[in-house]
């Protein structure tokens, strides 16, 4: 088995690390305090200009064509510096991928270059509703055909990048009489569409630099040409794209976990108790060893899922395994980092308390840990025939 990265993948990882260190890390603390929005948007534009918003998009549409492994490597580096920026980057990439996968040639030409070059500051998925979270097939937003248009009525909640996304990918019910999950379609909806409005940002525990909003659709009229794929086939599209998004969330989780443990290891070598650095105590060394195992295992699971996706192989089970393990590992690593810092880790003078808050959501969005276990079990049993 060949584990070496390609020269291009190494270059993208190093480029992401450099940009993250120079531009993202210095802003992360201010974003966490609710400041620095203009600088945040400038960083999104810079990421687009450097190819990070379209890593798996064809060059003809302005994309990088670097693949999913490069996507995972880049997100780890970005998340180690700023999880809020990394999750925005991840979702924008996935918006581009769904347009490339099921969009018409016109839809691709109209929107992919704008995602790739930063004309759209970000892209957003509108899937979750108050009664349709882990069960997206239970959505209620109505998309009613009216002549050459569809009229959208309803709302979506917890939408990442809602207030500054230039483009929404929106799922709605086009056939309310169809069996559950069978009457759903997916549409491209520019943010400036009349009838689309953005609610206030949620006040979140972590990843506060990434806006999360309710999006309202009040008689929003979109051309029938904005339908992606076939009518009533949108739920299948959603399930497929969630699998790819889980590789992104796993990579973000890993970046947060790595940053937390890097901070903890540095602190352990500097902090002295009983006349020696606390890194000399066996109990702490074992804690570090266990978390190092978490980091390495998470990275291997992520790269395995990403490589399968790049090869065109089934990867849903592997993506769920990577997302589940990496997000749970991020919890263990950030908790350990606070413990190693002692009382200092509970104070905002050190970044580890922010890492812990940023990590918490990774076990929830893009499918909870419980949902990942259901997917892994289902796929495992299905493979037995």
Residues with a catalytic annotation lie at 366
Helix axes 316-341, 352-360, angle to 10 degrees: 150
Biggest distance spanned by C-alpha atoms of the chain: 79
The strand pair at 196-201 and 184-190 is best described as unpaired
Cα(287)–Cα(2) distance, integer angstroms: 30
Contact 255, 78 (CB under 8 A): yes
Cα(32)–Cα(351) distance, integer angstroms: 10
Listed in order, strand segments (DSSP E) in the chain are 123-126, 142-146, 149-160, 167-173, 184-190, 196-201, 212-223, 227-228, 272-273, 276-277
The dihedrals phi and psi of 53, each to the nearest 5 degrees, come to -95, 0
Cα(194)–Cα(219) distance, integer angstroms: 8
CA angle 187–188–189, rounded 5-degree value: 110
Task: Retrieve residue 249's tokens.
Answer: 């969330």
């Amino acid at each position: 088995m060949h584990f070496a990265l390609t020269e291009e993948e190494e270059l993208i990882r190093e480029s992401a690390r450099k940009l993250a260190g120079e531009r993202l890390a210095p802003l992360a603390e201010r974003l966490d305090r609710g400041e620095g929005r203009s600088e945040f948007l400038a960083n999104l534009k810079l990421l687009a200009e450097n190819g990070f918003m379209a890593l798996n998009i064809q060059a003809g549409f302005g994309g990088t064509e670097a693949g999913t492994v490069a996507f995972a490597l880049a997100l780890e580096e970005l998340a180690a510096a700023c999880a809020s920026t990394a999750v925005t980057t991840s979702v924008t990439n996935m918006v581009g991928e769904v347009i490339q996968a099921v969009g018409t040639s016109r839809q691709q030409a109209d929107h992919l270059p704008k995602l790739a070059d930063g004309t759209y500051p970000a892209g957003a998925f509108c899937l979750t509703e108050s009664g349709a979270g882990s069960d997206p097939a239970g959505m209620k937003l109505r998309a009613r055909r009216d002549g050459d248009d569809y009229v959208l009525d309803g709302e979506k909640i917890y939408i990442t990048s809602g207030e500054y996304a230039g483009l929404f990918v929106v799922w709605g019910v086009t056939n309310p009489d169809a069996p559950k999950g069978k009457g759903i379609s997916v549409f491209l909806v520019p943010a400036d569409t009349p009838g689309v409005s953005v609610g206030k940002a949620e006040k979140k525990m972590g990843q506060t630099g990434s806006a999360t909003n309710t999006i309202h659709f009040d008689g929003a009229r979109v051309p029938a040409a904005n339908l992606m794929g076939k009518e009533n086939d949108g739920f299948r599209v959603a399930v497929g794209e969630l699998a790819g998004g889980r590789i992104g969330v796993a990579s973000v989780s890993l970046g947060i976990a790595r940053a937390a443990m890097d901070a903890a290891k540095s602190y352990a070598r500097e902090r002295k108790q009983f006349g020696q650095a606390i890194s000399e105590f066996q109990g702490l060394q074992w804690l570090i060893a266990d978390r190092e195992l978490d980091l390495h295992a998470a990275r291997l699971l992520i790269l395995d899922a990403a490589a399968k996706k790049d090869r065109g192989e089934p990867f849903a089970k592997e993506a769920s395994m990577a997302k589940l393990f990496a997000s749970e590992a991020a919890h263990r690593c950030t908790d350990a980092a606070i413990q190693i810092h002692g009382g200092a880790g509970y104070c905002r003078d050190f970044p580890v308390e922010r890492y812990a808050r940023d990590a918490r959501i990774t076990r929830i969005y893009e499918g909870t840990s419980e949902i990942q276990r259901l997917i892994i079990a289902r796929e495992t049993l299905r493979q037995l025939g």
